[in-house]
A = this chain, B = another copy of it.
Amino acid sequence: MKKKTTIYDIAEKLNLTAATVSRALNNNEKISESTRKLVQETALEMNYEQNTLARALKSGKSYNVGVVVPRMDSNFFASVIRGIEEELYPQGYHVIVCQTHDQENLETGNINSLLNAQVDGILMSISNAKTKNKVFNNLFAKHVPLIFFDRKRDIDGVSSVTIDDFNGAYEATKHLIQQGCKRIAHLSNDRSLEIFKNRYMGYKQALLDHGLECDESLVIETASKVDEGRRITKQFLSMERPPDAIFSSSDFTALGAIQEIKEHGLKIPEDICVVGFSNEPFTRFMELSITSVDQSPIEMGRIAAQVFLEEVNNGKKIKMQKQIVLTPELMVRKSSSKLK
């Protein structure tokens, strides 16, 4: 096993010092054009590769960023991560992805673990409402930038990239109303998380604006799982006055709802319309395709990454807080297309 070549090897070969070699490789302007070229060519020849660990130790930058998501096997998060990678890779960063599986201890554990790995920043989507803000203090103390995407929390000095959930929900609900639905239920998620609260608010506002009553018994909160969607929908259907539409803040619960409704012998969209949220691929691929709200995840990831880059490059001098809000898009499909 031949040792890796270091700048010392290059220096020795060229009768220079490591310092000069280092500068030449970094295109330091204090180095003459000729030696710079010479060094760079020799480096190439000798198959030199920078030791990132040494660079990291000296500079205090690891060129790793942590990404914390509830799970990565949803198209939404996978796409956000893809967007982040697309933006960060060309800058020499690597991405360490951690899944929390919605467990609070994993959430705090992951953050500390990433911190311990000396990441240069953390991009995250909060999964658990119970996670204390205190967890982030470690981050702040170490001046490690934190950027929220999608599921954010309002913390002073922390930037975020989200979509306009209120508006997305508003449009979705309005669409249902325009289809003639009068009694629209809402399959909600943990509303101590902003996004779900906002979707709920948007839903409510749309009802109000169109003169429909807002029956709180038609709003039920649950986990974003297919089976949960089924369970709650069963409850809906057993009401004296069951809903004629369901607006779900998750595609997975929307899917469960559809299964349950069909099992009850009801027709979609004729008897009940269903709208989901996130535009997961399966909503498009189902035989009965599902209307959903697209969140442009790749762009969300890219922008989050850009905000991160701005913050690290600002070098702690400037404390900035950006709140970027993207506009969602309603994708109308069969599950809610009552009218021709």
Task: Point out the residues of chain B lying under 8 angstroms from A113, CB to CB.
Answer: 89, 94
How often does this chain occur in the complex, in copies? 2
- A118 to B50 Cα, complex, angstroms: 10
Question: Knowing A78-B71, A141-B1 touch, does A51 contact B94 (C-beta < 8 A)?
Answer: no
Within 8 Å of chain B (Cβ to Cβ): is A216? no
Within 8 Å of chain B (Cβ to Cβ): is A75? yes
In the complex, the answer to whether B99 meets A117 with C-beta atoms within 8 Å is no
Question: Knowing A96-B95, A113-B94, A143-B1 touch, does A81 contact B72 (C-beta < 8 A)?
Answer: yes
Question: Knowing A94-B96, A259-B287, A282-B282 touch, does A116 contact B52 (C-beta < 8 A)?
Answer: yes
Closest to A49 in B: B116
Task: Point out the residues of chain B lying under 8 angstroms from A64, CB to CB.
Answer: 64, 96, 117
Within 8 Å of chain B (Cβ to Cβ): is A74? yes
Question: Knowing A49-B116, A52-B116, A117-B94 touch, does A226 contact B71 (C-beta < 8 A)?
Answer: no
A73-93 to B contact mask, C-beta < 8 Å, 1/0: 111011101100100010000
Within 8 Å of chain B (Cβ to Cβ): is A303? no
In the complex, the answer to whether A97 meets B99 with C-beta atoms within 8 Å is no
In the complex, the answer to whether B287 meets A262 with C-beta atoms within 8 Å is yes
Task: Point out the residues of chain B lying under 8 angstroms from A96, CB to CB.
Answer: 64, 94-97
Of B74, B99, B117, B118, which is within 8 A of A73 by CB? B74
Q: A residues bordering B, Cβ < 8 Å?
A: 1-2, 4, 49-54, 56-57, 62-64, 71-75, 77-79, 81-82, 85, 89, 94-99, 113-114, 116-118, 141-143, 226, 255-256, 258-259, 262, 281-282, 285-287
